[in-house]
């Protein structure tokens, strides 16, 4: 029997987990960087730091524990809990970039999103393998060969990227998705 509920795939970092704030704090505390929002526009932090300092951040990310203490993106918990009434939600993270992050990310999800079934958590490499109707992600590269609709979640590094649809926050994401849902009206 065919599943009638649309499938919503949701990225973790910079979509439901605030990795950017934690990384900025590390760069500030360890190396004294204090970048402005304008300096961050269209750039990754590693592009703004010295190669040695960027390598230190990469080592921290490869260790994996960094991912276990991130703050939740504003509105993400309430939005996903609401959307779970209308969509089958899958958390889909390209964790193979940092394999040691899998256990910390899984624990973080259990703590912050206990309503997401554990079988709906996908650690993957290429997101083109996902069989979902929608994918909310902050990197357009993850929409390549994805067969559903990619929804770009705004982050400083992607502000110069042309993509539609784009959502600025979880309120916008809920509004867009409810307009796309075949059996509901937008809240």
Active site residues: 11, 13
Contact 157, 48 (CB under 8 A): no
CA distance 174 to 186: 8
CA distance 102 to 66: 11
H or E, element range at 51: helix 51-63
Of 153, 160, 145, 156, nearest to 174 by C-alpha is 153
In angstroms, the Cα distances linking 100 to 64, 76, 181 are 5, 24, 36
Beta bridge partners of 130: none
């Amino acid at each position: 029997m065919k599943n009638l509920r649309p499938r919503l795939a949701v990225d973790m970092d910079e979509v439901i987990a605030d990795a950017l704030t934690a990384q900025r704090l590390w760069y500030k505390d360890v190396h004294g960087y204090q970048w402005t929002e304008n300096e961050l526009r269209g750039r990754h932090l590693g592009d703004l730091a010295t190669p040695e300092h960027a390598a230190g951040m990469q080592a921290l990310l490869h260790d994996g524990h960094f991912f276990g203490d991130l703050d939740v993106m504003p509105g993400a918990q309430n939005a996903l809990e609401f959307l779970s009434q209308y969509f089958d939600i899958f958390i889909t993270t390209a964790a193979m970039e940092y394999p040691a992050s899998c256990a910390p990310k899984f624990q973080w999800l259990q703590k912050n999103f206990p309503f997401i079934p554990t079988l709906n958590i996908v650690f993957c490499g290429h997101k083109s393998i996902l069989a979902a109707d929608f994918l909310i992600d902050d990197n357009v590269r993850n929409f390549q060969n994805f067969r559903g609709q990619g929804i770009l979640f705004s982050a400083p590094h992607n502000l110069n990227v042309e993509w539609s649809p784009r959502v600025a926050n979880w309120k916008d994401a809920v509004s867009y998705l409810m307009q796309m849902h075949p059996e509901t009206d937008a809240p």
